[in-house]
Amino acid sequence: MKKIAASLFLLIMMVSAAFAEDVSVTTGAGYMKMAKELCAAYKEMSGRNVQEMYGGNVGQQLAQIEAGSGVNVIISDIGTLDSAKTNVKFDTFVPIGKTVLVLAWRKGISLSSPNDLLSDNVKSVCYPDPKAAIYGRAAASFLKSSGIEAKIPDKISQMSTVPQVFSYLVSGEMDAGFVNRVVVRAGKEKIGGFLEIENGYPPLNMVAAVVKGEQSNPEVKSFIDFLKTEKGKAILKKHGVW
């Protein structure tokens, strides 16, 4: 029995060690679908293994990394990582593209610029939670810097996520809302229209951040190299990052 137990223990340790060498990827909820597609394509092209760990926002993911989750690559915008209160350190931030804030509106109205939010035709405006969503932080910053927030405080509401904002636009419960490229490109026939906002908030520069001590991991390097391929870039662009 002792020999069996010892053998099982050795097997478990060997498996754990093997997993420790894998690339392990995470991201916030808003980019989970993108990360999943990247990982699936990488596995198909390379034949290598990828550990995927999702759930919650970037702050929660960083807390899990700090607690020893084993994640060695996190995909997010550099602003979020720079401002996060965490003890997690990184070897490098690999740029993978830029994205923008998007203003969308329900069917039945038409906007030509963000200033049209001041119009009497727009009764309600919403945006995602700045504490949990990249685009929530961008929207809050834009509304403040543009002076729009101060002029229509009673019109503005905060939702939890980008999909929730979009669902309110589709149902017509909200007139306008701030979202991302992904949802409007996937469901543009369900809304009245949208426009991209490129200024008025900190740039949304997306990166693949490599956790400190993992830069020399060949599995991590292989995955990072894949993100720079035409296949990797195509998936990123599909999700509004280029």
Do 77 and 31 fall within a single domain? yes
Both tokens of 79, joined, read: 């602003």
Q: pTM of this prediction?
A: 0.81
Beta bridge mates, 16: none
- Which domain range does residue 93 map to? 2-98+204-238
25 and 139 housed in the same domain: no
Report the CATH number that the domain containing residue 164 is assigned in CATH: 3.40.190.10
What is the pLDDT averaged over residues 58-65?
90
Are 64 and 89 within one domain?
yes
Give 84-127 pLDDT, tens digit per residue.
Answer: 889 999 999 999 999 999 999 999 999 999 999 999 999 999 99
One domain for residues 192 and 111: yes
Residues 105, 180, single domain; the answer is yes
Residue 132 has pLDDT above 90, yes or no: no
Are 144 and 187 in the same domain? Answer: yes
The percentage of residues in the chain with a pLDDT greater than 90, rounded to a whole number, is: 78
Domain total of the chain: 2
Residues 191 and 224 in one domain: no
Q: Are residues 92 and 208 in the same domain?
A: yes
Tens of pLDDT, residues 194-233: 999 999 999 999 999 999 999 999 999 999 999 999 999 9
Tokens encoding 15:
């498996």
**Residue 128 vs residues 135, 166, 180, 214, 237: alpha-carbon distances, Å:** 7, 10, 10, 33, 22
**Any idea which residue has 């993978």 for tokens?**
96
CB 192 within 8 A of CB 69: no
What per-residue confidence (pLDDT) applies to 20?
53
